[in-house]
Amino acid sequence: MSRYNAFAKVNIFLKITGKRGDYHTISSRFVRVNTLYDTLWFEDKENSEFEIKGDFNCPIKDNTIYKAYSVLLEATQSDKLIAWMQTHTLCVEKRIPSFAGLGGGSSDAATFLHMCNDILALGLTNETLAKVGSKVGADVPFFVYGYPSANVSGIGEIVEPFTEPSLEFEIDTPNVEISTPAVYQYYHQHLYAPISEDEAHRLEETASVEILKSMSPKEANDLYPSALGCYSALHEQEGWFFSGSGSSFFRLKEHTHG
């Protein structure tokens, strides 16, 4: 049966623009990491329980894939979907570290939505899948659309493709599991300083390479100082940028020309 790749992402910049209810609104450039991905596929099974095979350290009901199944079922009321998950196990080969700011759980959820839509011919558009996915997590719509590079705003639901040359990254993930809510809470209590709409537009029109040249890692990501404040085990890495709420660092891969 077909295998699907669920790619990681990095945030070239991540700036807070304000608050909407309990959520912070953002302006961010998400860029796909083509060399780092989980792989998902279905296998036949005997028992009818919902089953995921993979290296996950959370109860199945907390898994983003199970949450994606729940919201997809709610949206479609599809008997085909119920029958399929009663007769198939979802297998996941995990390569993207968890709690690391690389979007692994969100990418898995978005990929699962696409797999079900394709295999069961549910006929849902990307817009509908993104709306369904947004109930699972703020990063899921980006992965549903599958753009190599995009500006993401609102609370993650506004995804606009950004055209630029493909970028290659080196990724380094320290052994520090980070709680995104904790980092946002620290930011709001200690460092809250949303940028203006004009500044957000300026960043959204600037190429990723230029941003990485012109901004320091702490300037580029409002959550970086918050993560350092929350987690004493997390340390700055000279010349590396910080993805999402962390703990992963990234930098552009240098090409040597012979």
> What pLDDT digit, counting tens, does each position of 43-70 carry?
999 999 999 999 888 889 999 999 999 9
The DSSP element (H or E) to which 88 belongs, if any, is strand 88-93
| CA dihedral (7, 12, 14, 17) positive or negative | negative
| Mean pLDDT of the 120-124 span | 98
Choices 3.20.20.70, 3.30.300.30, 2.40.30.10, 3.30.230.10: CATH for 4-161? 3.30.230.10
Q: pLDDT tens digit string along 137-153?
A: 999 999 999 999 999 99
Homologous superfamily of 169-252 in CATH?
Answer: GHMP kinase, C-terminal domain (3.30.70.890)
Positions marked active-site: 9, 139
If one counts every other C-beta atom within 10 angstroms of the C-beta of residue 225, the result is: 19
In terms of Cβ atoms closer than 10 Å to its own Cβ (0-12, 13-18, 19+), residue 190 is exposed
Judge if pTM exceeds 0.75: yes
Q: Is 114 helix (H, G, I), strand (E, B) or coil?
A: helix
Domain spans of the chain?
A: 4-161, 169-252
Q: pLDDT tens digit string along 180-189?
A: 999 999 999 9
Q: pLDDT tens digit string along 72-94?
A: 999 999 999 999 999 999 999 99
Instruction: Sort strands 23-44 and 169-172 into parallel, antiparallel or unpaired.
Output: unpaired
